[in-house]
Structure 1
Amino acid sequence: MSTTPLLGPAEIRELAARAGVRPTKTLGQNFVLDGGTVRKIVRQADVGEGDRVVEVGPGLGSLTLGLLEARADVVAVEIDPVLARLLPETVARHVPGLTVQEAGEQADGHPVTVLRDEAGRDRLTIVLADALDVTELPGPPPVALVANLPYNVSVPVLLTFLERFASLERGLVMVQAEVADRLAAPPGSRTYGVPSAKTAWYAAARRTSTIGRSVFWPAPNVDSALVRLDRREPPSTTATREEVFAVVDAAFAQRRKMLRSALAGLAGSSDAATAALTAAGVDPQDRGERVDVEGFARVAEQLVAPVQATGGNLGGSSGRVDA
């Protein structure tokens, strides 16, 4: 694999200054300065030649260049129009032979810019959009999600992409260390909660590495960590994902409550919740942190029939999967 010149601290600051961009904590912008960290992310994501990879929040292009170095084809979703305009120029300067094609639009109206190599292969496609609004991606379906996710929306973005893009076989995301613990937490642990259970619906998650603060500009107030995700089949259940997630949300809304009380609102009463939990093989006196996603699916099955019989609806379908 040929080595691509990655962005260093001086160039990152120069690019930001030229674009008039000052990273802000409000947008969760922390640009990676260290090429070694970029290559670690790409390596742990098992990205190889020809893989179609979606990257959320490419920023100035640090990770984008690392993915292109691995010969992946990248679809980058960027919310900031200034950064989306700057990225093609930066990438073309670092990766010889790429040319910028005339920008167009997706069917959903999001502007798209393509960088194509001399063989006519689309190496980088930039979609200007809020990641939570993206319902389709141009080109072949992506097989991997690799991203330095903005801290303030990391869990909603991750869950939304896992739901909307079933082609995603794996992922490697950098998030706040505390969030990484929650995503990968097993049932019964102190950090197990809504993000843990919902992520487990789609994938097996594990924390792989801690990333120190010094590799970012600006340096955040907390450490970061890498989380590896490998797609798996959701639990076998007659309940829908929305119905299962409604049970998960209710179970952790007041996490110190026993499940028979926490689910009373969904079930109609504490007695009805107790009956559903017992039928599902879950102790009504347990708390949500003791139940795995398969257990929540069994509980949802038991709650669906009584709710539907009264004309109700256990859980909605907003199209956005919040944590």
Structure 2
Amino acid sequence: MSSSDSSTSAGPRLLGPADVRSLAAALGVRPTKQRGQNFVIDPNTVRRIVRAADLSAGETVLEVGPGLGSLTLALLAAGHPVTAVEIDPLLAQALPSTIATYAPEQASELTVVEADAMDVTPAEIGAPTACVANLPYNVAVPVLLHLLKVSDSLRHGLVMVQSEVADRLAAPPGSRTYGVPSAKAAWYAEVRRAGPIGRNVFWPAPNVDSGLVAFERRDPPQTPASREEVFAVIEAAFSQRRKTIRSALTRWMPDRARLDEVFAATGIDPQLRGEMLGITEFAALAGAGRTQ
């Protein structure tokens, strides 16, 4: 950026295609499939994501996989402190410099955590109340579930994922795409699709479509069972998707007589398939199984 650039007076300058490629070239970075990296090169897209996230004024945002900083800059430009979790050491170390160049007045509002988002702890990320991120596509579901598990402060968020994954996360019971990700996400939050994202806003352009998923934290269902016990029922229910819920749950509870007692106690039809049950029913089964 030249010394005559007006970033300081005009506020943060967002990254366009030339900026992204220039930054990547300077760092010797090439996006890798291994880490699910696709850098956003369209300023209008990151502005749209920040608007759609429906953030409160000054709300602290957790961003996972900031990459070269496209979405980070848009969040800072909208007045939000950002805690960015980046697994790539080179990108993590370069991000503060990029922000200092493109958004000098907001540089102090950025905290970079060099870590794997699959293992990140509350001590590392603090207490952000929102998550806005372009999640690495190959680990999007486990990363989102881990963040919801370890960070009680996260109340809502908007994440960009592969379109097929967005469908799975937001699917209601009974739909074709409803499965383990849908049910586990429903334990933590109300999840919905929040719009499509075109392929041409990325570098490199992925060979899959992308989508936005919004979530709003809610209390889990009332049950004496733990989250882990409920999730064990979910996993068993979908391990044999074409079977009835009673047949599928025999690997969770091999004692069939006791399993029948669980169904009787909950009033859930054992002839249904697992895909017809919502998180409340899974929680009820786990709770009844625990107390039988």
TM class, shorter-length: over 0.9
Q: How far apart are the structure 1 equivalents of 2:34 and 2:224?
A: 41
Give yes or no for the alignment of 1:237 onto 2:254. Answer: no
Question: Matched residue of 2:122: which SS?
Answer: coil
- Pick one of 130, 136, 145 that aligns with 2:131: 145
- Pick one of 25, 37, 47 that aligns with 1:29: 37
Which letter does structure 2 place at the counterpart of 1:33?
I
**Contact in 2 for aligned 1:182/1:193 (Cα 8 Å):** yes
**Contact in 2 for aligned 1:263/1:270 (Cα 8 Å):** no
Which letter does structure 1 place at the counterpart of 2:168?
R
- Pick one of 268, 280, 293 that aligns with 2:266: 280
Q: How far apart are the structure 2 equivalents of 1:139 and 1:85?
A: 17
Give yes or no for the alignment of 1:220 onto 2:206. Answer: yes
Question: Matched residue of 2:118: which SS?
Answer: helix
What does residue range 176-255 of structure 1 map to in structure 2 within 5 Å?
176-255=162-241
Task: Report the Cα offset of residue 55 of structure 1.
Answer: 0.3
Question: Matched residue of 2:212: which SS?
Answer: strand
**Contact in 2 for aligned 1:261/1:273 (Cα 8 Å):** no
**Contact in 1 for aligned 2:40/2:202 (Cα 8 Å):** yes
- Pick one of 68, 88, 98 that aligns with 1:80: 88
Question: Which residue number corresponds to residue 107 of structure 1?
Answer: none
Question: Which residue number corresponds to residue 3 of structure 2?
Answer: none
Shift in alpha-carbon separation, 1:150–1:139, aligned structure 2, 3 A? closer
Which letter does structure 2 place at the counterpart of 1:21?
V
Task: Report the Cα offset of residue 254 of structure 1.
Answer: 1.3
Question: Which residue number corresponds to residue 267 of structure 1?
Answer: 253
Which letter does structure 2 place at the counterpart of 1:54?
L
**Contact in 2 for aligned 1:145/1:170 (Cα 8 Å):** yes
Q: How far apart are the structure 2 equivalents of 1:189 and 1:152?
A: 23
Question: Which residue number corresponds to residue 111 of structure 1?
Answer: none
Q: How far apart are the structure 1 equivalents of 2:120 and 2:247?
A: 37
Question: In the TM superposition, what whole-angstrom CA distance separates every residue of 1:58-92 from its partner, at most 9, and x where no partner exists?
Answer: 00000000100111010000000000111111100
Question: In the TM superposition, what whole-angstrom CA distance separates every residue of 1:23-74 from its partner, at most 9, and x where no partner exists?
Answer: 0112100000111110111111112432111000000000000100111010
The percent identity for this pair of structures is 60
Question: In the TM superposition, what whole-angstrom CA distance separates every residue of 1:160-199 from its partner, at most 9, and x where no partner exists?
Answer: 1011111111010000000001111111111111011111
Which letter does structure 2 place at the counterpart of 1:128?
E
Question: In the TM superposition, what whole-angstrom CA distance separates every residue of 1:105-151 from its partner, at most 9, and x where no partner exists?
Answer: xxxxxxxxxx42xxxxxx00000000111112457511001100001
Task: Report the Cα offset of residue 261 of structure 1.
Answer: 1.1
Task: Report the Cα offset of residue 3 of structure 1.
Answer: 5.0
- Number of paired residues? 283
- Between Structure 1 and Structure 2, the one with more helix by share is 2
Task: Report the Cα offset of residue 274 of structure 1.
Answer: 2.8
Question: Matched residue of 1:204: which SS?
Answer: strand
TM-score with structure 1 length normalisation?
A: 0.85
Q: How far apart are the structure 2 equivalents of 1:127 and 1:267?
A: 42
- Pick one of 103, 106, 113 that aligns with 1:95: 103
Q: How far apart are the structure 2 equivalents of 1:299 and 1:274?
A: 11
Structure 2 unaligned blocks of 5 or more: 1-9
Which letter does structure 2 place at the counterpart of 1:86?
A
- Tell me how large the CA RMSD over aligned residues is: 1.3
Structure 1 unaligned blocks of 5 or more: 99-114, 117-122, 307-323
Q: How far apart are the structure 2 equivalents of 1:57 and 1:137?
A: 18
Task: Report the Cα offset of residue 269 of structure 1.
Answer: 2.9
Q: Which aligned runs of 4 or more in structure 1 are off by greater than 3 angstroms? A: 137-140
**Contact in 2 for aligned 1:53/1:73 (Cα 8 Å):** yes
**Contact in 1 for aligned 2:11/2:103 (Cα 8 Å):** no
Which letter does structure 2 place at the counterpart of 1:19?
L
